[in-house]
Structure 1
């Protein structure tokens, strides 16, 4: 009995020690660096997972940062991949130019993604874009084509900045552009709340609010006019493309957006998550991570 008790204590200690070491190794494996866009904007890049694994590049959405992808970066399901995130211009730790053209010109955002792919040395990555991040990928495809990527996943993706595809929230968007600080912050909080069918835990929500507060005011004023060439980008893509939408999306019209994407590119595949709003990768993270892993493996097996 004494031996059994001692052994169980020792076993629990050993398991705890192994987990601590594993976490330390995972944290030490993560790295951060910067790349420079053609117009001189500094882009903050982060890496985790297996440095020799199939690369996945994650592009967050409006008012987010690389922290938006925590449930992917920390997912056991995805640790065998090379996980690359970055902060888009005007967000997080990346540069925040003041000129409106740095944000309204969709080519600038496309150049940032191209700089991340080139600067990281990622070969044939799968690119994953959430909301505005999907539009960034579309502009990348319109500018650079799909030769340097293996495939793409759009999550709550903006296909076009068209009234029939975007849910109207005029008070929220005008408030985000307001010079009055209270109005501005309240609108950002409302926007973050609209990202979910069900609110996340308090810590996650507060972190997302902090992300939003860090975002450039110049970017928020100009990004609604960002140029977006869906026919030339998404429409001309020949690589695999998966679209994931939450059935309760309050920011993007899921069905019309998917139908428009399908009309532009009949080869797209769609998945609708019944329990999610605008953020399926957070709201149904386990399912999303499995679907992403399946897509990446199937996509890269074709090469």
Structure 2
């Protein structure tokens, strides 16, 4: 092939662009697929980061989605890991069963997480559960033990659905349960606002509210009765467990929740982010990403 001066310049620029994009292409791999849980529910899974890196599986909370973790997925510090997210049943792009027992039985949520671990081929992942996602993780531990994971991080984690561990927010929860669409959407919006002590930018807030509106009505009416076997899940754990709570959490009581977790698993470590609300991973993302990276490396011996 004969190259003219013009083609040489063109290909020279192309070579420079490839060089500039190489790090992004190497570490910004994105993949989306679905896995099927034992009861046939299809779970939407997404991946980013380094496909050969240590796996971290993020489990979002009530009314969230995989988009909840954008500050982790976009973190330069975390790009060396294999970052796996998924939408819980009844949320986001995953299936939304109409049978209320599909949400009340905690084992179903555990099976979903087990399916993600198995079908992704993630080797000894670190599980990061936010709010309800911590309860899902606990039910996974109760059903499958911790042999297949390296450790877990609970963020604003629900240990049990008991009044002393939660903050009463009757206006938000009654609105979410309302059959009146306006009241239902207002309740969801109020719940999202309660997730933050430091409010996110308007675009992020509106996107989070939109994700909440995608959540199944059946799920929202049934999930507060979800079974959580904390005694078996945490009581039989051997791997590292870190609890991170926001000092200004408006949905979960940090002190009583942490005390219950430590009573079940004395090796539990607890860290308080004084200025954060229910979403320390978002409100203090730089600190959280640094702490998560240190935990993952320690838990996996890196």
Q: TM-score, normalised by structure 2?
A: 0.92
Query: Helix, strand or coil: the match of 1:262?
Result: helix
Structure 1 CA distance, aligned partners of 2:282 and 2:19?
A: 24
Structure 1 residues 52, 97: closer, same or farther in 2, change over 3 A? same
1:128-143 mapped onto 2 (5 Å cutoff): 128-143=128-143
Superposed displacement of residue 23, structure 1 = 8.3
Q: Distance in 2 between matches of 1:121 and 1:84?
A: 11
1:57 corresponds to: 57
The 2-side partners of 1:125 and 1:96 are apart by 26
SS, match of residue 147 in structure 1? coil
The answer for unaligned runs of 5 or more in structure 2 is 1-12
Q: Does 1:200 align with 2:200?
A: yes
Regions of 4+ moved over 3 Å: 16-20
**Conserved? CA contact 2:245–2:271, under 8 Å:** yes
- For 1:233, what is the secondary structure of its paired residue? helix
Deviation for aligned residue 1:177: 1.1
How many residues matched?
A: 289
- TM-score normalised according to structure 1 size: 0.92
Whole-angstrom distance in 1 between the partners of 2:20 and 2:237: 44
In 1, Cα distance between the equivalents of 2:197 and 2:67?
Answer: 20
- Higher deviation after alignment, 82-91 or 18-27: 18-27
* Structure 1 pair 81–139 and aligned structure 2 pair: CA distance change class (3 A): same
Measured in 1, the distance between the counterparts of 2:132 and 2:125 equals: 19
Change (3 A) 1:24 1:277: same
* CA RMSD after TM alignment: 1.8
Counting only pairs closer than 5 Å after superposition, residues 1-303 of structure 1 correspond to structure 2 as 21=21, 25=25, 29-301=29-301
- Structure 2 CA distance for aligned equivalents of residues 265 and 27 of structure 1: 36
Are the structure 2 counterparts of residues 176 and 239 from structure 1 closer, same or farther at C-alpha, using a change threshold of 3 Å? same
